[in-house]
Amino acid sequence: MIDDFAPEGLLAQAIKGFKPRAPQQEMAEMVSRAIENKEQLVVEAGTGTGKTFAYLVPALRSDKKVVISTGSKNLQDQLYSKDLPIIKKALDYSGKIALLKGRSNYLCLERLSHQYAAAGDLTATLREDLSKVKNWSLKTKDGDTSKCTTVNEDSSIWPILTSTNDSCTGTECPHYEDCYVVKARRRAMNADVVVVNHHLFLADVVVKDTGFGELIPRADVMIFDEAHQVPDLACQYFGQQLTSRQLFDLAKEINLCYRTEVKDMSQLQKCSDKLSKSVQDFRLAIGESGFKGNLRYLFSQPKVKQAIDILKDAFLFCRDVLMLGLGRSSNLDNCFERVTQYSDLLNRLMDVNAPGFSYWYECTSHHFVLAITPLSVAQKFSELLEERKGTWVFTSATLSVDHKLEYFTQRLGLDAAKSLLLASPFDYEHQTLLCVPRYIPSPNEPNSAVKLAEILLPVVEANNGRCFFLCTSYAMMNALAEEFRKSLTLPILVQGETSKVKLLEQFIDKGNALLIATSSFWEGVDVRGDTLSCVIIDKLPFSSPDEPLLKARMEDCQLQGGDPFAEVQIPEAVITLKQGVGRLIRDHQDRGVIIICDNRLVMRPYGSTFLNSLPPSPRTRDVEKVIQFLTQKS
């Protein structure tokens, strides 16, 4: 194995500029050993280790069936289109490689034909997009919607033309043999290496009845990249959710069946209308939008109780009418099953006193989610590992808290896993500076955005932009954008004003911008070189203690005699902070400053846990020294 990574090894011969790295070789050896011995392995590989090649080489060398799961569809595409072809060529690998996405990424031919038959129900814009998709459907080989260049990826037509686990009729579908999801699954079944993402993997594990069995084939080797996301996602998927989108989708499907297949059942139109209206009324009964709260409290409100009764009546009416048409259409039969399923799920959600779960809801201006989430998935996940014996590798740049991996391994029940901590090979001592400025406002202090903008304006100007300002809330992001726009002549880009992809393109193209963002920009963003040389973080990223799942986990920790702040809140915040800090240095040539505007790092005892978990950068509290560092030549 080590020969592949040696100075004259196959990788050096095939990849221009490849340089051997001791941490990469060490990780590759551990992964190879884990595959050979069918072990569980957890590896934190600091940025720049080259972890992707370190697991790909032993995986392809193993001659075993391998499934690689990534944190997002973007990483999935990069792995499949860029990294795997490089390694395949270098090793002269002859095995088959397949990409498998969730069913919502593939055009559903049955839904396309249905919508075409009832296109009069759509707006003019959607009809135009439908026509473009129809033309594309005559040319596409794999039905991957991301490859349809004539229709915008966020067009409202796509949810209408892709299926869900609930709506798919499987082998009963008249288009089954031509189904793009079926074809993608067949390619995956016949492949030696399959690239998926965490959402698809977990959905597939939990929802085994997908119309035609599991989508993801069984494998000898399972590798999770960006594995820090897995515990929270597993909680989500091992729980249950009822959403307004599911119910609106069902109402539309009932209406489509009436318009296209069973035109003599006019009662179906009434079913569809009654269900849609009851869902809308339920959303209105919840109250203000942009809120996340406890289901126990929600279900105790008289208005909501009344709206639930009306929704239950709508389910009952739909069930009675659909029963009359059973056997006449596979789509109608599917709608009947979904009505029963959603009605049962609503009753399950209303039983809010089962221990070991968090009951929560979330609502936007038009939609809502009602959810039940287990507080721990350690037992369920360890049962999964026991059931699917083989090699399981979990890796990320951010798994440890204060150089320990227990927080991650305990949440997934990885008691038997071997572990490895590999520091980044980057020279943080000379490439970076970490600053916690003096005189910054305390967290949550009124008008803190005004004070922060005033203190940091000289830094942003001295650096000629080239800066990310990562915020812990949308309120702070918007307030800072407003303040900087009053006094800064450099380009200011703000999350939400256009898509994430376009924002990053603009940031790189301009070369002197300040990008102010929250949430999605804390991870999975890779800007190399001088374009980004300063990352500012508004405060330590503690989640709100009122966030329902976190609150329930903290209460559970307390019941078991633990310290919720030390055992739940701090580790969560440390992992998030590491992600944000990791945006700065992406290459051996990168150089820059991290500024964290939170005195708690130096004033509170727990600050050392955060600092010990970050890369070993020199530290200062003096903003002038930051400006000197940024303006001096590297």
CA distance 256 to 234: 34
As to burial, measured by CB atoms within 10 angstroms (0-12 exposed, 13-18 middle, 19+ buried), residue 559 is exposed
Contact partners, residue 451, CB within 8 Å, separation at least 6: 440, 441, 445
- 8 Å CB contact between 251 and 279: yes
- 364 CB neighbour count, 10 Å cutoff: 12
Secondary structure letter of residue 493 according to DSSP: E
Order of strands, sheet of 492-494, starting from the edge strand that comes earlier in the sequence: 492-494, 514-518, 467-471, 534-537, 592-596, 432-435, 619-620
- 8 Å CB contact between 11 and 57: yes
**∠497-501-503 over CA atoms, to 5°?**
40
Spans in the chain with pLDDT lower than 50: 209-213, 634
- 8 Å CB contact between 365 and 288: no
CA 144 vs. chain centroid, Å, equals: 19
CA 198 vs. chain centroid, Å, equals: 8
Predicted local distance difference test score (pLDDT) of residue 18: 86
As to burial, measured by CB atoms within 10 angstroms (0-12 exposed, 13-18 middle, 19+ buried), residue 131 is middle
**∠598-570-203 over CA atoms, to 5°?**
120
Predicted local distance difference test score (pLDDT) of residue 305: 94
pLDDT tens-digit series, residues 310-324: 999 999 999 999 999
Beta bridge mates, 514: 467, 492
Predicted local distance difference test score (pLDDT) of residue 212: 43
CA distance 474 to 346: 32
Residue 331, Ramachandran bin (φ over 0: left; ψ between -120 and 50: alpha; else beta): alpha
- 8 Å CB contact between 260 and 345: no
CA distance 218 to 430: 46
Secondary structure letter of residue 63 according to DSSP: T
Instruction: Kindly give the residue spans of alpha helices, DSSP state H, lying in 287-329.
Output: 295-299, 302-324
Structure tokens at 112: 């396309």
Predicted local distance difference test score (pLDDT) of residue 217: 84
With H, G, I as helix, E, B as strand and everything else as coil, classify residue 3: helix
Instruction: Kindly give the residue spans of alpha helices, DSSP state H, lying in 527-616.
Output: 548-559, 564, 570-581, 600-603, 607-613
Write out the E strands in 246-340: 291-294
- Domains of the chain are 2-95+192-237+377-422 (3.40.50.300), 103-161 (no CATH), 240-374 (1.10.275), 429-631 (3.40.50.300)
Helix (H) or strand (E) holding 193: strand 193-197
